[in-house]
Amino acid sequence: MMPISGNIRPSQGEFNVTERLENKVGLVTGAGSGIGRASALAFAREGAKVIVADVQANSGEETVEMIKSAGGEASFVRTDVSDASEVESMVNKTIETYGRLDCAYNNAGVVISPRLTPETSEKDWDHVINVNLKGVWLCMKYEIPQMIKRGKGAIVNASSMVGLIGLAKRSAYAASKHGVIGLTKVAALEYANAGIRVNAICPAVVRTPLVESIIQSDPDAESQLMSMIPMERLGTLEEMAEVVVWLCSDASSFVTGHAMLVDGGAVAK
């Protein structure tokens, strides 16, 4: 497990709350690991009550326990974001538990092994699109009506730098992440005058558990990955979570419809 660096008091194991999301209720999908877990922890650190959603119950519950042990408040809801009934239940559970929904990070996503476009199976294509793209749409479908009731809200959708560029052998992933940016822009326009902001985050390669396992299995992998990034290092979970928090906070109150690169300059090359 990876703690949020500098955000937990080492002597007490409690959050040093800075209150950017004070008294807000946040929802994070795919919060059982990686950027999702880091973001759920950051939401709690900033004062939010957090619904932790993930298809893997054990890892999701673990995130909840990490938040609670650091002095935050969180609840777990097992959710497959590709299933409309489960997403609806997730949002309903948020309202039942905390009474409202103020901000959401629609982060849940999957990747598959790289394959040329003709070699990608229909099963793999459908799996990636259903989770990465349909899942984001379903989340917004049920989140936005709850935010309309309050007259405000902030949504961050998980795209990628591959949502803005091409990447060989990643046809399904690239299509899903390009689609997320399109969805984000449309929803932002539809609800700009309703007090609801919708943005996307577009990370480069980040030190997630998956990436760490690749690096450990291949001595050349880290240098190859870093060669893509002008800053010559990989992004951290904490850096991604900070951007998500900012986009959900009032500090970004005039930002909507934006696909924010957090990529160490990779796309600027």
Q: How far apart are CA 47 and CA 53, in angstroms?
A: 18
- Given a contact cutoff of 8 angstroms between Cβ atoms, the answer to whether 87 and 54 are in contact is no
Strands (E), the chain: 25-29, 49-54, 73-78, 103-106, 153-158, 196-203, 259-262
- Given a contact cutoff of 8 angstroms between Cβ atoms, the answer to whether 242 and 42 are in contact is yes
**Would residue 105 show up in a list of annotated catalytic residues for this protein?**
no
Q: How far apart are CA 198 and CA 129, in angstroms?
A: 20
Q: How far apart are CA 210 and CA 119, in angstroms?
A: 23
CB atoms within 10 A of CB 12: 10
Q: How are strands ordered across the β-sheet holding 73-78?
A: 73-78, 49-54, 25-29, 103-106, 153-158, 196-203, 259-262
Provide, for the chain, the percentages of residues in helix, strand and coil under a 3-state DSSP scheme, each rounded to the nearest 5. Answer: 50, 15, 35
Catalytic residue among 98, 105, 142, 173: 173
Q: How far apart are CA 25 and CA 90, in angstroms?
A: 13
What's the token pair of residue 90? 């997730």
CA 205, 122, 171, 175 torsion-angle sign: negative
Catalytic residues: 173
